[in-house]
Every structure is written in structure tokens, then in C-alpha cells.
Amino acid sequence: MTDPNAALYAALAKAQGQMQNPVKNREVTVKSDRGTYKFSYATLDSILDGIRKPLSDNGLSLTQTLERTPEGIVMCLRLCHSAGGMISTCMPLDQAKVVKMQEMGSIITFARRYQVSSFFGLAAEEDDDANAADGNKVEAVKDKAPQKQKAPGAREEFVRLKTAIQEAPDAISVAEILLKEKEALKLVQTASAAGYDALMAEKDKRIAEFNS
């Protein structure tokens, strides 16, 4: 029996290969019963900015919703594929210490960050920062200057494009790869004419296979 999520798993594998650990763009100083300490972490927007394109490029979409269950409120993450597959996971929210709505908002954001990072295997944290929910006093919050993540080199792009061409399901998909990846192709061509020719040869080979 065919797994209804087979296409989703393949797309997720490709998307994860295009993701990088997010930059830890926020530094916080916290006062708690353990003393004063500092840590850095990637904010929710930083994490989402890093995964949106890999997900979209591979036909994947992500939702996170609050849902009420007999055991309490949970945060449910659903990953859907354009072909119809879906996988999900739910995370319980600890509301025991919630007094103000701002504290609930802190818990929700905290849960979303940890859930997304864990689901996609990303390292976005240095330490626990659920400070409002824990009753800790945040003394200072400082956003770090954005740091550019290292762009893939010509070699990495060559391998990625060659793999994409080899795994394309039909000739139309091969053509779409070439149209969508013009910048990557240009990078490969500039770095190595032989590498570019190898990609074109791979393209011709795949199209010939589809036409045979």
C-alpha cells in the first residue's frame, strides 16, 4: 500500500537540505532566583524567515494553531504538501502561572519557536528564555546586528542542481528547474565552464530519457 505522505517526506527531505540553523539574533539579560545571566536565541521571525522559501520551493506549507483538548490548550503544527499529504504534532502549553494576557503571549511565542525548531531539526537556542512564564525579570533585551549567512558556493550549487535534475519526475520539471535557478546556474558557469557543461549534459540526458 502506497504511503499517502510519501511525496511529503521526499519534499521535506529536500527542504531540510536547503535550511540552515538560524542566526541567534537576540541577546537577553535575565534576573532570576539563579542569579543574573545572559543568553542568545533566534527569534520566531528569524526562524520563519529561514524556512519559508525552502518550504515553498518544495510545495510545503506550515500552520500553527491553538486548540483546546480535554487535557488543556495545545499548540498544533501541521505540515502540508501540495500533493495532499499532511503530518502534524501538538505541544501542550503550561498555563499554570499565567496571570496576564502578555504572559500567555510569551508562552505562545515560546512554544511556536521551540516547536518549529524541533520539528525541522534546527538549533535556535542557547538557553531557556520563557522568562515571563517563569516569573523572571528581564533586565535588558538587545537585538543583535543581522549577520549574513554564508551563501552556498558554486560547488554546493552544482551538486544541488545536478541532484534536482536527476530527481526531476518529467521533462517539464527539468525545464522549470533551469528557469527557476538562473542565478545558481550563472554562479556555476562563472566558477567553472566544465561544471556548467556537465549540468547541461545531465539536463540533455534526462530529457532524452523522458522522450525515449
The pLDDT tens digits of the residues spanning 21-78 come to: 888 888 877 777 767 777 788 899 999 999 999 999 999 999 999 998 888 889 999 9
Residue 107: predicted pLDDT: 86
Residue 29: predicted pLDDT: 79
- Sequential DSSP letters for the chain: ---TTHHHHHHHHHHHHH--PPP--EEEEEEETTEEEEEEE--HHHHHHHHHHHHHHTTEEEEEEEEEETTEEEEEEEEEETTS-EEEEEEE---TT--SHHHHHHHHHHHHHHHHHHHHT---BSS---HHHHT-EEEEEEEPPP-PPPPP-HHHHHHHHHHHHHH-SSHHHHHHHHHHTHHHHHHHHHH-HHHHHHHHHHHHHHHHHHH-
Residue 58: predicted pLDDT: 94
Residue 113: predicted pLDDT: 92
pLDDT under 70: residue ranges of the chain: 1, 34, 96-99, 126-152
- Using CA atoms, how far residue 61 sits from 13, 43, 46, 81, 191, in Å, is 14, 20, 17, 7, 34
Give CA–CA dist 202/77, Å, rounded.
38
| Mean pLDDT across the chain | 84
Domains of the chain, residue spans: 6-143, 154-211
Residue 75: predicted pLDDT: 93
